[in-house]
Amino acid sequence: MKQHDIPVPLCNKCALESGSLFKHLSPDEIITINFEKDFRQYRRGDILYQEGNRISGFYCIHSGIIKVYKTGLDGKEQIIRFAKAGDYIAYRSVLSNEPACTSAKVIEDCQVCFIPSEILVSLIKTNPEYALELLKLACHELGEANSFITDIAQKTVRERLAEVLLFLVHDFGIDEQQYLKVSLTREELANIVGTATESVIRLLSEFKTDKLVELNGRKIRILNERGLEKISNVFS
Amino acid sequence: MKQHDIPVPLCNKCALESGSLFKHLSPDEIITINFEKDFRQYRRGDILYQEGNRISGFYCIHSGIIKVYKTGLDGKEQIIRFAKAGDYIAYRSVLSNEPACTSAKVIEDCQVCFIPSEILVSLIKTNPEYALELLKLACHELGEANSFITDIAQKTVRERLAEVLLFLVHDFGIDEQQYLKVSLTREELANIVGTATESVIRLLSEFKTDKLVELNGRKIRILNERGLEKISNVFS
DNA sequence: CGGTACGTTGAGTCATATCAACCATAGTGG
DNA sequence: CCACTATGGTTGATATGACTCAACGTACCG
């Protein structure tokens, strides 16, 4: 968490680039945030906060990737979502005024800004446009959670794994050679799908046999997106 | 949907009784809502709105019970939540400005007020306190959705059924004889738990054998709450 | 009286979890 | 430099939870 010579990113620039919700703020409000925020850096494996913590603010991600997860019985993680540049995390527990219901851990080294709760609350109170956007965000996430629930309850592991791969493609993109830009362990994949690590390994190698993907260690190459869509039953 | 002579409930009175979010509104705002709202009555089986619909407002429940669900492949329902007196439904799709991601169907005859989107949006813009409460609501629901996801992904059907029974106890209560106040079909129970109807039937009769519940058709009597808690693993 | 929706039970099957062994890699410390 | 350990990946064998299919009972309703 040493700062070296890395310049603290400016919210106005960052908001434009990342499309974070700060783009709805006035210049004055941006200045306040810039002043009040705390810039932090984390490396893979670091934990930003843990389930049960009372959190005194939220994080806006400037770069890197974070996984947000719940820990179930016997310590098994269930990954709820990922956060990348422009995303907020921990705002849920700030606004509902509850302890964190999730933990957040770094997947790819990241830079984040920590903004105290009071700032968020006062923005909501003085900038209705921003409040509305926050509501929109929360409601959108709620919709995604609902779909997730239905998927886990009704689809097979095979279908869900295909769907997760497609989700990762859309959320993080693929490079010129069709390689997924995020790199996750098999266990992390299992913790998104909601299954055992071994099942992910077996199914991935089936997908490989079926020429849907190519596997190079943690790097996954997407060969046949349509095929994965068919398996995942995403469209009706 | 005929109105007979039933008096339209007044929001101020209703808000106090039911504890709906309207309690955060000013007298003037209450008057506006009272004027703009549309009072409606529905009977068991009626559908308020369906997945994919564009909705032009949200519903505040005055009485009765509604199930909110998603329809998965092959038409199987996944119940996402229930709404009863004081609860809002459809506000998610109004605020995220997306088509409904769920359907809503009446479980117990109900009276609801329909409030146009514009009213909601203008309240958010003029009453920050109310906006904050709405955010709190949405964020709280998000937390519950996260728990639900983890449960479905990690717990067995047996554990989840026990948990659902406890949830129904806390959400709807039990009468003097320990009978659950909501009455659901086995299929509906299965659609909350995320399993097959037959599995619910089998497990319920196991619970009966173990003296945890008593079954009288659709009426379920809770005999041993502690036992159900133990099975459901709710506490760590 | 037949029809429809719901509940129940049994039997068979399959997907997935669990357990165990093993390999590869990288980092650590003596 | 080598043994040591930890972490992640892979594969096989086995067990079983839960689904599916099918038959049948029950109750209510027009």
Q: Which pLDDT band holds residue A169 (cuts at 50, 70, 90)? A: very high
Query: pLDDT digits over B7-63, tens only?
Result: 889 998 999 999 899 999 999 999 999 999 999 999 999 999 999 999 999 999 999
Q: Select the more confidently predicted residue: B74 or B41.
A: B41
- CB proximity B1 to A under 8 Å: no
Residue A145 structure tokens: 């959670």
Instruction: Report residue B5's pLDDT band, with 50, 70 and 90 as the boundaries.
Output: low
Share of chain A above pLDDT 90, in %: 89
The stretch A153-158 carries a mean pLDDT of 97
Fold of A11-144: Jelly Rolls (2.60.120)
The reply to whether the CB atom of residue B157 sits less than 7 A from any atom in nucleic acid chain D is yes
Rounded, the Å distance between the CA of A234 and C1' of D4 is 48
* pLDDT per position as a tens digit, B136-170: 999 999 999 999 999 999 999 999 999 999 999 99
The answer to whether residue A173 scores a pLDDT higher than 60 is: yes
Neighbouring-strand partners of residue B161: none
Specify the nucleotide whose C1' lies closest to residue A187 (CA).
D8
The structural domains of chain B, with segments of one domain joined by +, span 11-144, 155-232
Indicate the pLDDT class of residue A144, thresholds 50, 70 and 90. Answer: very high
| Protein CA at A197 to nucleotide C1' at D3, angstroms | 30
Burial class from Cβ neighbours inside 10 Å (0-12, 13-18, 19+) for residue B217 reads: exposed
Q: What is the pLDDT of residue B7?
A: 81
Q: Residue A3 pLDDT more than 50?
A: no
- What is d(CA A18, CA A59) in angstroms, rounded to the nearest whole number? 14
Is A122 an 8 Å CB contact of chain B?
no
Residue A107's φ and ψ, nearest 5 degrees, are -100, -40
Cβ under 8 Å to A: B residues 9-68: none
Is the Cβ–Cβ distance between A9 and A15 less than 8 Å? Answer: no
pLDDT digits (tens, 9 = 90+) for A184-233: 999 999 999 999 999 999 999 999 999 999 999 999 999 999 999 999 98
Instruction: Return the residue of A nearest to B196 by Cα.
Output: A154
Mean pLDDT of chain B, nearest integer: 94
Q: What are the chain B neighbours of A155 within 8 Å (beta carbons)?
A: 72-73
Split at pLDDT 50, 70, 90, the class of A182 is very high
The answer on pLDDT for A236 being more than 60 is no
pLDDT of residue A181: 96
Q: How many CA atoms lie within 13 A of A156 on its CB side?
A: 7
Q: What pairing do the DSSP bridges indicate for beta strands A77-83 and A57-71?
A: antiparallel
Cβ contacts, strand C, under 7 angstroms: A 156-158, 194-196, 198-199; B 185-187, 197-198, 201-202, 204-205, 215, 217-218
Tell me, what's the pLDDT at A1? 44
The interface residues of chain A toward chain B in range 177-236, judged by CB-CB distance below 8 A, are 194, 233, 236
The 10s digit of each residue's pLDDT in A63-90 is 999 999 999 988 899 999 999 999 999 9
pTM above 0.85, yes or no: yes
Among A53, A94, A101, most B C-beta atoms within 10 A, so best to mutate, is A101
Q: Which two tokens stand for residue A200?
A: 């992910």
Residue A210: predicted pLDDT: 96
- For residue B73, the chain A residues in CB contact (below 8 A) are 154-155, 233, 236
Q: 3-state class of B72 per DSSP?
A: coil
- More confident position, A218 or B235: A218
Mutate to test the interface with A, among B53, B139, B148 (most CBs of A within 10 A): B139
Provide the pLDDT for residue A61: 97
Q: Which nucleotide is nearest to B45 (CA to C1')?
A: C5
B135: chain A residues, CB-CB within 8 Å: 95, 124, 131, 134-135, 138
pLDDT the model gives residue A5: 60
Assess whether pLDDT exceeds 70 at residue B1. Answer: no
CATH topology of domain B155-232: Arc Repressor Mutant, subunit A (1.10.10)
Q: In the complex, which nucleotide's C1' lies nearest to the CA atom of residue B208? A: C8
A155: nt with nearest C1' to CA? C15
Residue B117 has pLDDT above 60, yes or no: yes
Strand C bases, protein C-beta under 7 A: 6-11, 15-20
CB neighbour list of residue B131: distance below 8 Å, 6 or more residues apart: A124, A128, A131, A132, A135, B123, B124, B125
Name the residue closest to the C1' of C19 by its CA: A198
Confidence (pLDDT) at B199: 98
Spell B186-195 as b/e; 16+ CB within 10 A means b: eebbbbbbbb
**Cα of A58 to nearest chain B Cα, Å:** 13
From the list B124, B135, B233, the residue facing A73 with the nearest CB is B233
Task: State yes or no: pLDDT of B208 exceeds 80.
Answer: yes
Residues 214-233 of chain A sitting with CB below 7 angstroms of strand D: 215, 217-218
Site from A24, A152, A159 to mutate, B interface, most B CB atoms within 10 angstroms: A152
Torsion angles phi and psi, residue A128, rounded to 5: -60, -35
Q: Is A82 exposed, middle or buried (CB count within 10 Å of its CB: 0-12, 13-18, 19+)?
A: buried
What pLDDT does B4 receive?
52
